């Protein structure tokens, strides 16, 4: 707690001064892109200035050519995914690629012939998603190199975030993009090396921060949206084309979209109107900051929505505003001037639900129930990546939980707080039928835990995204399990401490590339505790956590026989004495004493301190705290009432416990639930059967 007071204001200052960000930009991209709507291709000229931020002289550059993942079925992406991602299949004849036509050092050597494909992650010689370019002269430490690159990007039919669908174009991962050179000491690097992974099915991205100045030329009938702020718009009436210029500092990616069908709506996020003094006060108390420190900035919210989703315009804007507000209050003000939300058309769902700096893609259905928050969840989640991955630039290839897991945790908090329990998004012929059928509502927390319960304990949270056991394991370990893990940490440390941890994490590592170990350090520092036991078991390990109530015995305390010392003399209590004493007690209606023995067990390998609560029939409650280290513990008590109920972790704070069923014991099973569900099941069967 004390440490935080020294460290955070400096970090906060660094992050809030966006223009003079913590780092001098590593990359500077100037790209001219022309969209050929007939060929579904982008003709691009890229001028990249890359600064060598390391003490090493670097004689080789590495680039991602992400679109080449979609050029045939032999790429690592296709082999791993089988041509499917998130339920989408790569359409036949919908291949995409990026071709580097020329690469030249500005005013110097032509490097085109020096380009060779490499495969640093696997031995797949057919994968062409990473290139290495040998330089004629190494780039000296602290010096920069400028390259001119001509390229052609043939977009695939929409698949895995990018592509075209009829007259809708989404350009993501569309240009030759330089990798990250990690000097010794950066993240886990022991010596300087390129961190430039191939494009994998279960993986996203990693890149350096920099400045972008991109012009996009598209037919004038098209509506264009992109990362950054639109600086200019020039129409060429002869060619019926318009050129848009977008500029953005301190981001690590640039994406854009174009379609003649978009309905473009713009609104302003006005913090004075959106955030109340009470909310600022409450969050201020939580994170230990003054109102001034929590001040948010106005933001232009731009929505590019499909005409058939016009009725959901307000829902989308409310979701963005809620995200801007709560992410801003909890972690730090959104520093950019704009946020653009793109609603892909029907048939282009593969481009939906994706994050790029200052531009996100959403996704909704034609009709959405009043108590469904599916579109909101997507918008808030993708917006959340502006923080987790966007500004806190973790490596999605190697530690996907730091962006997806953190974001699932943050999104769930907003959804549960603002929207509450939601209906399951089950539609029939576009009718939301879940309410009529009385299907269960759910909160995000419940959904996350539900997924966690089926986690098969084969992978730790942290590992390369393509090395997980399977896609399900990647998904659960990247999204839901970390969300549950962070919730458990919050319950253990308390909401204020957790709120300060998350704020410190954001402020300290804004525009940096931190690791899981960095997060552990922030947790230890802010909480003032050594939490390595937590991280070792639940982040870096696969151990199962499961505590159970093993047995509860409750016996009437008998009158004991034998020789007892009373007033210095030995007195014998015989069988006859026992009968007499029991008769006297019954006559006096004395309450009997009960000897209660409770045994708790640790079933899993993982250890977590837990509380036990025992409730007696007379209403008295007894609490015990167990450090949980031994395999079992026994509590013996003598009370004037029988035990009615014993619960481990009665508030269900330890969401990592893999079995809540065995956390409790009741003396008398409640008949109501069983009667109710017997009646339900029987009636449904009677109605369904002929």
Task: In angstroms, give the least distance from the CB of 257 to other proteins.
Answer: 13
Least Cβ distance, residue 649 to other proteins (angstroms):
11
Question: What's the CA gap between 362 and 429, in Å, rounded?
Answer: 21
Cβ proximity to other proteins, 82 vs 440, nearer residue: 440
Polymer length in residues for the chain: 690
Taking the least distance from each CB to other proteins, the nearer of 238 and 429 is 429
Choose between 58 and 155: whose C-beta lies nearer to other proteins: 155
Which is nearer to other proteins, 147 or 480 (by Cβ)? 480
Six-digit token string for 10: 């400096």
Residues that bind other proteins (CB under 8 A): 165-168, 261, 306-308, 345-348, 365-366, 424, 429-430, 438-442, 446-447, 449-450, 453-454, 645, 647, 658-666, 669-679, 681-683, 685-690
Interatomic CA distance for residues 528 and 504, integer angstroms: 13
Q: Which three-class secondary structure state does DSSP give residue 537?
A: helix
Distance, in Å, from the CA atom of 513 to the CA atom of 511, rounded to the nearest integer, reads 7
Tokens 């943050």 -> residue: 410
The DSSP annotation for 49-114 comes to EEE--SSS-EEEEEEE-GGGGGSSTTSHHHHHHTTEETTEEPPTT---EEEEEEEEETTS-B-GGG
| Shorter beta-carbon distance to other proteins: residue 129 or 411 | 411
CB of 367 to other proteins, least distance (A): 8
Nearer to other proteins, 563 or 688 (CB): 688
Least gap, CB of 580 to other proteins (angstroms): 38
Q: How far apart are CA 339 and CA 356, in angstroms?
A: 10
Name the minimum Å distance from CB 24 to other proteins.
Answer: 43
204, 209, 213, 216: CA torsion to nearest 10: 0
Report how far Cα 283 is from the mean position of its chain's Cα atoms: 21
Question: Is the Cβ of residue 632 or residue 674 nearer to other proteins in the bound state?
Answer: 674
Min dist CB 424 to other proteins, Å, is 8
- Look at strands 338-342 and 299-305 and give their pairing: parallel
Nearest Cα neighbor of 176 from 136, 143, 128, 140 is: 128
Minimum CB distance to other proteins smaller for 473 or for 516: 473
> Buried b vs exposed e over 215-253: b needs ≥16 C-beta within 10 Å?
bbbbbeebebbbbbebeeeeeeeeeebbbbbbbbbbbbb
DSSP string, 184-252: TTSTT-SS-EEE-PPP-TT-------EEEEEEEEEETTSEEEESSEEEEEEEETTTTEEEEEEEEEEES
Nearest approach in angstroms of CB 656 to other proteins is: 13
- Cβ proximity to other proteins: between 51 and 644 the closer is 644
Rg from Cα positions in the chain: 31
**CA–CA gap between residue 86 and residue 82 (Å, rounded):** 12
Give min distance, CB of 10 to other proteins, in A. 43
212, 248 in Cβ contact below 8 A?
Answer: yes
What is the nearest approach in angstroms of other proteins to the Cβ of residue 689? 4
356 neighbors 254 (Cβ within 8 angstroms) = yes
Please state at what angle helix 313-330 crosses helix 277-287, rounded to 10 degrees.
40
Please say which residue, 569 or 685, places its beta carbon nearer to other proteins.
685
Q: How far is the CB of 4 from other proteins (least distance, A)?
A: 34
CB of 446 to other proteins, least distance (A): 5
Taking the complex as a whole, the smallest distance from the CB of residue 663 to other proteins amounts, in Å, to: 7
Cα(345)–Cα(356) distance, integer angstroms: 18
CB 383 within 8 A of CB 402: no
Tell me whether residue 445 or residue 520 sits nearer to other proteins (CB atom): 445
CB-nearer residue toward other proteins: 308 or 543 = 308
Q: How far is the CB of 258 from other proteins (least distance, A)?
A: 13
CB of 324 to other proteins, least distance (A): 29
Backbone angles phi, psi at 538, to 5 degrees: -105, -20
Nearest residue (CB) to other proteins, 104 versus 641: 641
Instruction: Assess contact for 128 and 65: CB atoms under 8 A.
Output: yes
Structure-token pair, residue 544: 């199962």
Distance CA(476)–CA(518), nearest Å, equals 22
The CA distances from residue 670 to 554, 673, 674, 675, 679, in Å, are 19, 7, 8, 9, 15
- What is the SS3 assignment for 554? strand
Between 185 and 440, name the residue whose CB sits nearer to other proteins. Answer: 440
């Amino acid at each position: 707690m004390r440490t935080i007071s020294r460290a955070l204001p400096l970090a906060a200052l660094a992050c809030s001064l966006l223009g003079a960000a913590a780092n001098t930009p590593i990359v500077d991209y100037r790209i001219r892109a022309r969209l050929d709507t007939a060929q579904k291709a982008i003709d691009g000229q890229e001028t990249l200035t890359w600064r060598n931020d390391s003490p090493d002289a670097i004689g080789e550059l590495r680039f991602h050519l992400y679109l080449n993942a979609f050029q045939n079925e032999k790429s690592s992406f296709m082999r791993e995914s089988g041509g499917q991602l998130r339920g989408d299949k790569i359409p036949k004849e919908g291949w995409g690629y990026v071709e580097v036509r020329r690469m030249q050092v500005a005013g110097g050597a032509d490097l085109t012939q020096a380009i060779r494909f490499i495969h640093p992650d696997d031995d797949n010689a057919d994968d062409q998603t990473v290139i290495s370019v040998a330089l004629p002269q190494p780039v000296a430490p602290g010096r920069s190199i400028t390259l001119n690159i001509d390229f052609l990007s043939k977009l695939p039919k929409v698949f895995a975030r990018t592509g075209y669908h009829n007259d809708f174009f989404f350009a993501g991962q569309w240009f030759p993009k330089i990798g990250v050179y990690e000097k010794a000491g950066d993240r886990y690097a022991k010596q300087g090396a390129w961190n430039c992974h191939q494009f994998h099915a279960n993986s996203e991205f990693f890149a350096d921060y920099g400045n972008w100045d991109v012009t996009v030329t598209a037919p004038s009938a098209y509506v264009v949206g992109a990362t950054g702020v639109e600086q200019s718009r020039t129409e060429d009436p002869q060619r019926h084309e318009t050129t848009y210029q977008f500029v953005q500092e301190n981001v690590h990616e640039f994406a854009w979209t174009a379609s003649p069908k978009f309905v473009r709506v713009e609104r302003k996020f006005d913090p004075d109107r959106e955030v109340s003094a009470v909310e600022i006060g409450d969050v201020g108390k939580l994170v230990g900051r003054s109102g001034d420190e929590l001040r948010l900035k106005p933001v232009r919210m731009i929505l590019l929505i499909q005409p058939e989703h016009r009725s959901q315009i307000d829902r989308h804007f409310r979701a963005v505003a809620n995200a801007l507000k709560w992410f801003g209050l909890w972690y730090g003000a959104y520093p950019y001037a704009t946020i653009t939300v793109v609603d892909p058309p029907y048939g282009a769902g593969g481009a939906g639900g994706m994050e790029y700096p200052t531009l996100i893609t959403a996704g909704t259905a034609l009709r959405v129930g009043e108590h469904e928050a599916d579109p909101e969840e997507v918008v808030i989640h993708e917006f959340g990546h502006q923080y987790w991955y966007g500004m806190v630039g973790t490596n999605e290839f190697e530690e996907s939980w730091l962006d997806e897991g953190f974001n699932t945790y943050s999104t769930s908090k907003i959804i549960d707080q603002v929207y509450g329990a939601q209906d399951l998004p089950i539609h029939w012929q576009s009718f939301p039928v879940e309410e009529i059928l009385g299907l269960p509502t759910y909160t995000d927390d419940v959904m996350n835990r539900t997924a966690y319960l089926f986690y098969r304990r084969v992978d730790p949270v942290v590992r390369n995204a393509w090395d997980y056991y399977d896609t399900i394991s990647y998904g659960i370990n990247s999204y839901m399990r970390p969300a549950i893990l962070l919730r458990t940490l919050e319950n253990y440390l308390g909401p204020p401490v957790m709120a300060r941890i998350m704020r410190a994490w954001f402020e300290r590592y804004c525009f940096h590339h931190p690791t899981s170990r960095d997060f552990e350090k922030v947790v230890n520092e802010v909480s003032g505790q050594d939490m390595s036991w937590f991280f070792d078991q639940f982040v870096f390990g696969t151990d199962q956590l499961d505590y159970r109530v093993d047995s509860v015995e409750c016996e009437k305390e008998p009158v004991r026989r034998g020789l007892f010392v009373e007033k210095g003399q030995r007195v014998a209590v015989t069988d006859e004495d026992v009968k007499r004493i029991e008769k006297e007690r019954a006559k006096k209606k004395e309450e009997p004493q009960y000897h209660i023995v409770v045994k708790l067990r640790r079933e899993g390998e993982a250890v977590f301190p837990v509380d036990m609560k025992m409730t007696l029939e007379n209403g008295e409650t007894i609490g015990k705290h167990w450090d949980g280290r031994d395999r079992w513990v026994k509590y013996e008590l003598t009370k004037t009432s029988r035990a009615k109920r014993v619960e481990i972790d009665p508030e269900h704070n330890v969401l990592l416990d893999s079995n809540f069923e065995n956390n409790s014991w009741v003396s008398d099973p409640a008949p109501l639930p069983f009667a109710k569900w017997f009646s339900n099941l029987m009636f449904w069967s009677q109605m369904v059967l002929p």
